Structure 1
Amino acid sequence: MGAIFLAIGSATASAGGISLQLENDSFGRTSDADYTQGLRLSYTTDGPAGWVQSLLPERYQNRELATQVFLGQAIFTPFEVFETDLLEYDRPYAGWLYLGGALQSVDLNPGSSLRVAERFEVSVGIVGPSSGAEQAQRATHALLRTYDVNGWENQLRDEPTLQLSYARKWAHIQSVGERGLQLEWSATLGGHLGNVNRSLVSGVGVRFGRDLFSSLEVSALAPYTTGPESGMRAGGWYLYSELQLRFVSRDIFLDGNTFKDSHSVEKETRVGEWQFGLVLPTGRYHWSAYHARRSQEFIDQYADVNFFGIGLSASF
């Protein structure tokens, strides 16, 4: 909870930006399965309030800092959404509504092509009917005049959530040619702790584009909405690709409720994810589009998980 109030308290410290991301497995096809939709609205400041920075350890005093407040929702369904009965062999219906805050830092080392970025997140939320996932999906399908989803009576039960996440990214950026283009190679380590997800995360990535130093953010890691956001300040355009490997000890969307009886499936403890996309600026706006492919998350899963994401960020 502390990081949430730190982020909210610093929201007026300096100009920042607002970002909206939407992920869905139905872009380009008509179906719902597994991770079917994610939505995240976030507000980022260019720097925290002075009193917040004074509370940080000495090693953060010479770093570029940003704080963020975010609100999100995630929806999960089994493959056969027309069935009304509980599908013992498939994942549970589940929804998650969460509110969180984040602190991000970038090590400023003049003259060095190596940059180090860190991100710490904390969120509180609710899994179950109170998340509004059923209503959100039904409203979307009614708006699009498509099929109904019949199995929400079998969803996970209400459970409050507390989730902590941390990631550290090392990035080497080098110039390519004489047109101001740059290439970045990066490695990321991190993890999650909480009753939603407990896992360790490792990743490698590459970016190619312009003004990469100004957008050295650490993207939010699953189970949150995963796509790129506008960084510390408005940057240039870039193409990117990232590969992650997650070692999972708990996933509430597969293991079921923590303290109540609920449907569950046997999860895979190692999950890989590959993502690629692009970010384009138009004035103070940044547009992003990406595709992700996630390996099977539980035993006997019908297929790998595929979803697309789009995002819009506006800098103030």
Structure 2
Amino acid sequence: MGLKNYLPSTYRWFIATSLSVGGILCSHLAFATPKQDPFDTLTIQLENSSVSTLQGASDKYYTNGIRVGWTSRTDSLPKPIADVNRFLLGDGMQRIHWGLQQLMFNPVDTQTVNRLPHDRPYAGVLLSTLNLISDTDTTRSVFGIQAGLMGPGALGRQVQNGFHGIKGDNKILGWHNQLTNMPVFQVQMGRTWRYGIMHAGPVDFDVLPSANGAAGDYKTYAQLGALLRFGQGLDSDFGPTRIGPGDDGTDAYVGTKTVNWYVFGGVDGQGVAYNSTLQGNPINPHSQHVSKKWDVGEILAGVAVIVKGYKLAYTQTWQTQEFNGQKGGLFNYGSVNISFKF
């Protein structure tokens, strides 16, 4: 039996086990009160289907994501915003996050000028994120909005073909078929729990269950997941950040040791009610679309290092099919995240 066939039962078992173990042990091994952070954080992140040691250069499906994000220092919010944060997320150390991201989606065949009705539509998405963040010693809670544009105005064609031109690669020929301009919006909310499990000499182990979701005309979904980590200084953050699903913009970290590092692995599962990049523009009856799958699973693995205010993380993601007819089994892409304090 292949990985694709047993993934759903695997991630359900992993999440249930992680929640159970964490709930039993957290009272004994919970981390100390989080440290105040007097610095802002700037993050630059790249995700690409070619940033991977597991496949050659490829422009297909979720082909590229770029994100720039700013996260504030702790407890520096104006009182009206702090009151809203406390009302929505409860007591905790408060931050606010702003980010800008661009995402690009392609079909498999990028060298035909014809429309491909049974493959993923070409789509560019440009989004701005505004999130409120609240941290306790064992939780990170996030509430925010994303708003922007899907379509030619997101400049996906210009960025992708411009980059290909610099590298001397073939131009992507089908961008004239991309989904038409459409404003997109979603409200998102999530929480990550951090439970210590055990110590093995200088190395600690923890588990990070998470639950989050979003609703809007960009995406509507609910997601459960869990990460298992081992390393040093695990109380420095709440795991890696990704551009797509999850608590987007949770880049905040505070190094609790001179050198903080961890290796992680985990799974998540989504129930997807709506995805505009697959289902097209609902106000355009001729918009290209494919039949989405309602259940999408992922396996994650990677490493992160925090040294003197700088953080470097790499995440590899393996994803099940997002739509009926998707080719190639598990789709995978890599994510590189660089953050620093100022």
Give the structure 1 partner of residue 192 of structure 2: 169
Classify 1:224/1:151 alpha carbon distance in 2 versus 1 (closer, same or farther; 3 Å).
farther
Quick check: 1:14–1:46 contact (8 Å CA) kept in 2?
Answer: yes
Classify 1:307/1:39 alpha carbon distance in 2 versus 1 (closer, same or farther; 3 Å).
same
**Which of 272, 281, 285 is the aligned partner of 1:257?**
281
Alpha-carbon deviation of 1:124? 1.0
Alpha-carbon deviation of 1:177? 2.8
Alpha-carbon RMSD across the aligned residues, in angstroms, is 2.2
Give the structure 1 partner of residue 304 of structure 2: 279
Letter in 2 for 1:231: A
Alpha-carbon deviation of 1:131? 0.1
**Which of 154, 162, 165 is the aligned partner of 1:142?**
165
Classify 1:208/1:178 alpha carbon distance in 2 versus 1 (closer, same or farther; 3 Å).
same
Q: Determine if the alignment matches structure 1 residue 39 to structure 2 residue 39.
A: no
Matched ranges for 1:155-304 at <5 A: 155-179=178-202, 181-216=203-238, 219-220=241-242, 222-223=244-245, 230-234=251-255, 236-260=260-284, 261-303=286-328, 304=330
Higher strand share: 1
Structure 2: stretches of 5+ with no match in the other structure:
1-36
Give the structure 1 partner of residue 27 of structure 2: none
Task: Kindly tell me the number of residue pairs found equivalent between the two proteins.
Answer: 296
- In 1: Cα distance, 2:218 partner to 2:88 partner: 31
Q: Determine if the alignment matches structure 1 residue 99 to structure 2 residue 99.
A: no
Classify 1:81/1:225 alpha carbon distance in 2 versus 1 (closer, same or farther; 3 Å).
farther
- In 1: Cα distance, 2:127 partner to 2:246 partner: 9
Give the structure 2 partner of residue 128 of structure 1: 151
Alpha-carbon deviation of 1:66? 1.7
- In 1: Cα distance, 2:310 partner to 2:162 partner: 29
**Which of 142, 148, 157 is the aligned partner of 1:119?**
142
Quick check: 1:40–1:225 contact (8 Å CA) kept in 2?
Answer: no
Quick check: 1:234–1:315 contact (8 Å CA) kept in 2?
Answer: no
- In 1: Cα distance, 2:115 partner to 2:48 partner: 24
Alpha-carbon deviation of 1:140? 0.9
- In 2: Cα distance, 1:87 partner to 1:223 partner: 26
Quick check: 2:271–2:296 contact (8 Å CA) kept in 1?
Answer: yes
- In 1: Cα distance, 2:223 partner to 2:84 partner: 28
Letter in 2 for 1:314: F
Structure 1: stretches of 5+ with no match in the other structure:
1-12, 109-114
Give the structure 2 partner of residue 18 of structure 1: 42
Classify 1:218/1:105 alpha carbon distance in 2 versus 1 (closer, same or farther; 3 Å).
farther
Give the structure 2 partner of residue 3 of structure 1: none
* TM norm structure 1: 0.87
Letter in 2 for 1:105: S
Quick check: 2:96–2:133 contact (8 Å CA) kept in 1?
Answer: yes
Quick check: 1:92–1:155 contact (8 Å CA) kept in 2?
Answer: yes
Give the structure 2 partner of residue 86 of structure 1: 115
* TM norm structure 2: 0.81
- In 2: Cα distance, 1:204 partner to 1:223 partner: 13
Q: Determine if the alignment matches structure 1 residue 75 to structure 2 residue 98.
A: no
Higher helix share: 2
Quick check: 2:85–2:132 contact (8 Å CA) kept in 1?
Answer: no
Letter in 2 for 1:200: A
